[in-house]
Structure 1
Amino acid sequence: MKTTIFIIRHAHSVYTPDELGRPLSSKGFSEAIKLCHALKKEAIDIVISSPYKRAVQTVKGIAEMIDQEVILEDGFMERKLSERPIEDFGAAIKKVWEHPTFFWSGGESNVTAQQRGIEATIKVLDLYAGKNIAVGTHGNIMVLIMNYFDEQYDLSFWNSLEMPDVYKLVFENKKLFEVTHLRSES
């Protein structure tokens, strides 16, 4: 039985230090509308999201389109890089990707964040087998999940992601066998 997860990196957001409450920007709201239209033809059954506001706002239109509520799942929250803001974000993210068990003070290692994301993904595959599921999430955790199934999804891949970005992951018996990049302009 095939199960499809449309893993969606959130649209552009307004930066605030409040990770949980950071909203989409006006550009992000426009992008989320385009995304909703692009996914209309995909027959989405279920919409799940990280509890972060920007991820929920990105997929809310999809849920409304199919007359469903967005189901919140903490496992799809963005990886916590550090307890405090980091001066050189690029160098900090590079280090955790080069050393998967390394973590900055108060943050998650790639191994820890990936395990959390995979547990959430397996839960979704178990609960909604045979369905088409839209999952609103964040760039780093998205790539860590994809990397678990195929190591080609790495830091370089993360650097190439857009906001929003969508990958269609097709699973059979919890084994990933097809990945397709979707464009919101479609």
Structure 2
Amino acid sequence: MKTYYIVRHCQADGQSKDAALTPQGITQSHEPAQFFSGIHLNQIISSPYNRAIQTTKPLAHAKQLEITIDQRLSERVLSSKPIDNWYEKLKLSFTNLHMTCEGGESSQEAMNRIVEALYEQIKLEKDHTLFVTHGNIMSLLLKHADPTIGFEEWEKLSNPDVYILKYFSPDHIETKRIWQSKTAE
């Protein structure tokens, strides 16, 4: 069995790649460092988005680990243009994995890239890896492991949130929420 941790970033002031953590998000960023203080980690891999990197800096500092950036952990783009009914489109995308909006990425495409990042670490025999990412892409990775995960589970994610993923074989992957911020909204 190999163990991986999936962390959703702390509270941020927007959705853009450059969006920073809010003052509450900065406070929250120290909580994962405390939570993981007694847990062995071999590496930290983060989305290139500013809010993900800011979330993991206190943990990386405490563990004396470098933060490796991986584009495949970037948040899924539902559409390249604003859409009025984005919430309904997102909900539909959990049941119709191949649905796309203009300039966007289907759930299946997004799932494929984050699963590829995970399986790369599995093939390299890298264990106890922590991935720092975003809510939608995180829920798609969890859905890969457990197809019953859907829109409702995405809605219940907090900022930050931590899941453990235990890999036994390609057909046996277990996930479980192991921590969420006490200061999450």
**TM-score, normalising length from structure 1?**
0.91
Q: Distance in 2 between matches of 1:43 and 1:174?
A: 24
What's the CA shift for 1:79?
0.6
Q: 5+ residue gaps in structure 1?
A: none
What's the CA shift for 1:89?
2.5
Q: 1:8 — aligned with what? A: 7
Counterpart amino acid of 2:55?
A: T
Q: Distance in 2 between matches of 1:41 and 1:5?
A: 15
Q: 1:58 — aligned with what? A: 55
> Are 2:84 and 1:84 aligned?
no
Q: 2:128 — aligned with what? A: 132
- 8 A contact 1:49–1:137 mirrored in 2: yes
Q: Deviations over 1:145-175 (max 9, x none)?
A: 1111211221111111111000011112455
Counterpart amino acid of 1:29?
A: I
**TM-score, normalising length from structure 2?**
0.91
- 8 A contact 1:167–1:180 mirrored in 2: yes
Q: Distance in 2 between matches of 1:175 and 1:63?
A: 32
- 8 A contact 2:43–2:128 mirrored in 1: yes
- 8 A contact 1:38–1:184 mirrored in 2: no
Q: 1:145 — aligned with what? A: 141
Counterpart amino acid of 1:159?
A: E
Q: How many residues align?
A: 182
Q: Distance in 2 between matches of 1:112 and 1:181?
A: 24
Q: Deviations over 1:104-133 (max 9, x none)?
A: 00000111111111111111222243x211
